[in-house]
Amino acid sequence: MIMLHLLSFISFLAYTICCFEISEKEDLEKVWGQDWPFSGINTYAHLPHDRCLIDKNLTFDVGIIGIPYDSSVSYRPGARFGPQAIRAASQRQFSYRGFNFRAGINPYQQWAKVIDCGDVPVTPMDSSLALKMMTAAFDNLLSRESAYEGSSMPPRLVSLGGDHSIILPIIRNLYKVYGPITVLHFDSHLDTWSPEKYPSYWQSEASEFNHGSMLWMAKEEGLLSEHNIHAGLRTRLSGTDWSDYLEDDHLGFHRIESDEILKIGLDGIIGKIRRLLPKNSPVYISVDIDVLDPSAAPGTGTVEVGGWLTRELVYILRSLEDVFIVGADVVEVSPPFDQSEITALAASQIVYELVTSMVKGGPIDPDMVKANIEGAPELSNDESKVFFEDAREGEFLK
């Protein structure tokens, strides 16, 4: 009798183990697929990763793309390590716990397929070649189809810089899709300086492209609208007068200085931006992390005291979620000058807010794109000085 009970128990135990193993094999993703914030390979917010530049059959709706380039800085380098740092600082973000309480959605569990596209392998040794590579890379990425069946437009990208010069190759390619682009530029610096404002006996075509001249170049190439905005300015100017501002006016930029937040408050800043932005026009949001005060973002290349706080910038971005956003970047994160990931953490949060706004706004309306293109004046070669034209003529493979 005892032997019979023992055999029954052994049989039951064997059956239980067998069933557990079968169940485990049937759902290994459930058993082993969830990482802790400190485990797993670093992708932005633990998102799925694909090398988007290589797989041309890949479709997605919002892609995080790193651009580890800093060969065009004028002061402190290190931003080539920015994409790594931003990804590492985003590891407490998960699709499961990604609900944005400010926006009322989880951007990772909506209609959009959001992925980490890896990095553009930009050369650090030749800025002319780097510009060609970045231009070709975004031509490649914007030639894709969105994953969402209800969208006829290409996917949107949030770029992790890198220094701020990366905006020029991005805008070049966005212009091909959307027509003239309105840039909402959060920065402590103008970045519309003519290359002549960088005085040196030694000049070359390549030296004209740097992280303070790229918006001047974009305007000279005819890529921008007449309603662009700087927000958070507090830079020193050239010479003994306001000539930098006068040239900025000529390029079609409006200015919101950092100190204005003390006079008109956050809602005043937001109201001013909304009044200046054209309605239903494609907007590119570019966030230089040095728009924040060094106390909130010490890890950057060209620090300027007296900036905004991360909380204030996030509030402003969230209040602009209904803007027609066609792309965005967060640039100038320089980990060698960061402490305790302060700057990288701020950048990772800003990326999250930008992705949230893109997803909450829904797929891009092609009718708005058509209206913007049809309303844009045609530019002849005489009307637009074009730099590095070979990069726009298909010299490099898509």
CA 153 to chain centre: 18
Residue 398 has pLDDT above 70, yes or no: no
CA 191 to chain centre: 17
Q: Does domain 42-196+206-378 have CATH number 3.40.800.10?
A: yes
- Distance CA(106)–CA(92), nearest Å, equals 15
Could you tell me which of 129, 225, 155 has the C-alpha nearest to residue 185? Answer: 225
> Mean pLDDT of all residues in the chain?
88
DSSP label at 195? G
24 vs 188, more confident: 188
Residue type, 284: Y
Please, are residues 119 and 80 in contact by the beta-carbon 8 Å criterion? no
Residue range 351-365, pLDDT digits in tens:
999 999 999 999 999
Type and span of the H or E element at 153: none
Q: Compute the average pLDDT of residues 304-328.
A: 97
292 vs 381, more confident: 292
Its pTM stands at: 0.88
Quote the percentage of the chain above a pLDDT of 90: 73
Residue 388 has pLDDT above 60, yes or no: no
What Rg do the C-alpha atoms of the chain give, in angstroms? 24
10 vs 211, more confident: 211
State residue 10's pLDDT score.
Answer: 58
Q: Compute the average pLDDT of residues 68-81.
A: 93
End-to-end CA distance of the chain: 78
- Distance CA(181)–CA(219), nearest Å, equals 10
Residue range 323-351, pLDDT digits in tens:
999 999 999 999 999 999 999 999 999 99
Residue range 180-224, pLDDT digits in tens:
999 999 999 999 988 777 777 777 777 778 888 899 999 999 999
Residue range 106-134, pLDDT digits in tens:
999 999 999 999 999 999 999 999 999 99
Question: 139: which strand partners?
Answer: none
State the CB neighbour count (10 A cutoff) for residue 397: 7
- Distance CA(288)–CA(215), nearest Å, equals 13
- Distance CA(17)–CA(90), nearest Å, equals 39
Residue 378 burial by Cβ neighbours in a 10 Å radius (0-12, 13-18, 19+): exposed
Residue where the block lists tokens 């979620």: 321
- Distance CA(352)–CA(170), nearest Å, equals 20
- Distance CA(115)–CA(63), nearest Å, equals 5
Residue where the block lists tokens 């003239």: 180
Residue range 143-161, pLDDT digits in tens:
999 999 989 999 999 999 9
Q: Taking the domains of the chain in order of start, what are their residue ranges?
A: 42-196+206-378
Q: How confident is the model at residue 274 (pLDDT cuts 50, 70, 90)?
A: very high
- Distance CA(116)–CA(65), nearest Å, equals 6
State residue 203's pLDDT score.
Answer: 77
